[in-house]
């Protein structure tokens, strides 16, 4: 039984490692068969899906702006997919990172080498530059190596920045302590589109990088503040998953608030983390349990978010 439990843990850690795109795992993956799917979202805004986080692209006569860039081996395929649109023969001028994880920033170096300017929140550059531990403060733990100099954002901001291109005021706004401490949500107001990064995902319970300053409460705050300022018919690009709308965002936020309330109640009754797991307190939300973040991992995430605990492995930081 102990051997089986250990095997399950090893497989779970391997799955998480691959998802976050550590350099070693990215090298081990076969990207040759990955195809880039392009979906027109609205006007000159497109969504690109491949391996890793969803990409948003503003494509026009002034050039191209993309939000996130997946993994380095896919950079040429992403460039080709944008060129195949036939909208412009101009290059990718800017790349905006929604956060620092490798499945969203792995392409920074090749895009920079091709002439793109990388833009991100201050903390994205800091975390890419130093590397360190990512995780939920418990069973999910990943070590990230420092990124190459060419992968670092060259323009950073504290609160927000606007790129004026293709007749659009593309605004990146920082929302603190959500998926990580460097999250940005990207607004395309003219085209009524928003890219929410990994603050909003469609694969089930979200991965919240508590070790990198994230919290479920920060995501809830980001979702509520963003939803309040968006038109009812806005098109929402999630960090992962299908093109969405505000109803999807509200349902996701409702789940986060409900599950947080359950864990908070248990904390008020002085229940331990193990007791919460054994009692299966999140059973009513079991449909959100996935191969990446299962129910127990999300209980850990909520527990650590609500208590401010980042895990024993962070004591040296």
Structural domain boundaries, residue 35: 2-314
Specify the pLDDT at position 309: 81
**Which distant-in-sequence residues (6+ apart) come within 8 Å of 109 by Cβ?**
72, 147, 148, 150, 151
Our count of domains for the chain comes to 1
Model confidence at 20, in pLDDT bands (50, 70, 90)?
A: very low
pLDDT in tens, 155-181: 999 999 999 999 999 999 999 999 999
CATH number of the structural domain spanning residue 47: 3.60.15.10
> Is the pLDDT assigned to residue 147 strictly greater than 50?
yes
Backbone φ and ψ of 62, nearest 5°? -80, -10
Specify the pLDDT at position 27: 53
Model confidence at 19, in pLDDT bands (50, 70, 90)?
A: very low
Specify the pLDDT at position 29: 81
Residue pointed to by tokens 């969203």: 104
Q: What percent of the chain has pLDDT over 90?
A: 86
pLDDT in tens, 217-247: 999 999 999 999 999 999 999 999 999 999 9
Specify the pLDDT at position 11: 36
Model confidence at 28, in pLDDT bands (50, 70, 90)?
A: low
Residue bearing the bigger pLDDT, 315 or 186: 186
Please state, rounded to an integer, the average pLDDT across all residues of the chain.
Answer: 91
């Amino acid at each position: 039984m102990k051997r089986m439990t250990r095997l399950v843990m090893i497989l779970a850690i391997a799955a998480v490692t691959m998802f976050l795109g550590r350099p070693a795992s990215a090298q081990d993956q076969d990207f040759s068969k990955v195809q880039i799917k392009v979906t027109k979202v609205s006007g000159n805004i497109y969504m690109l899906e491949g391996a890793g986080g969803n990409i948003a692209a503003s494509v026009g006569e002034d050039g191209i702006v993309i939000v996130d860039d997946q993994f380095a081996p896919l950079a040429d395929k992403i460039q080709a997919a944008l060129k195949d649109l036939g909208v412009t023969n101009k290059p990718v001028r800017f790349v905006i990172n929604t956060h620092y994880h490798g499945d969203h920033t792995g392409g920074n170096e090749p895009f920079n080498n091709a002439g793109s300017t990388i833009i991100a929140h201050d903390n994205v550059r800091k975390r890419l530059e130093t590397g360190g531990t990512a995780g939920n403060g418990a069973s999910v733990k990943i070590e990230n190596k420092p990124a190459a100099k060419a992968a670092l954002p060259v323009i950073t901001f504290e609160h927000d920045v606007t790129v004026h291109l293709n007749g659009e005021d593309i605004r990146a706004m920082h929302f603190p302590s959500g998926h990580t401490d460097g999250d940005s949500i990207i607004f395309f107001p003219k085209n009524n589109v928003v890219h929410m990064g990994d603050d909003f995902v469609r694969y089930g319970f979200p991965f919240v990088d508590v070790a990198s300053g994230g919290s479920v409460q920060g995501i809830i705050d980001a979702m509520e503040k963003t939803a309040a300022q968006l038109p009812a018919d806005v098109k929402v690009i999630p960090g992962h998953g299908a093109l969405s709308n505000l109803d999807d965002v509200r349902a996701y936020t409702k789940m986060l608030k409900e599950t947080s309330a359950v864990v908070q109640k248990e904390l008020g009754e002085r229940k331990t983390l193990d007791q919460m797991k054994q009692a299966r307190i999140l059973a009513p939300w079991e449909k959100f349990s996935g191969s990446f973040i299962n129910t127990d991992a999300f209980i850990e995430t909520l527990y650590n978010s609500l208590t401010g605990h980042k895990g024993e492995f962070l004591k040296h930081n």
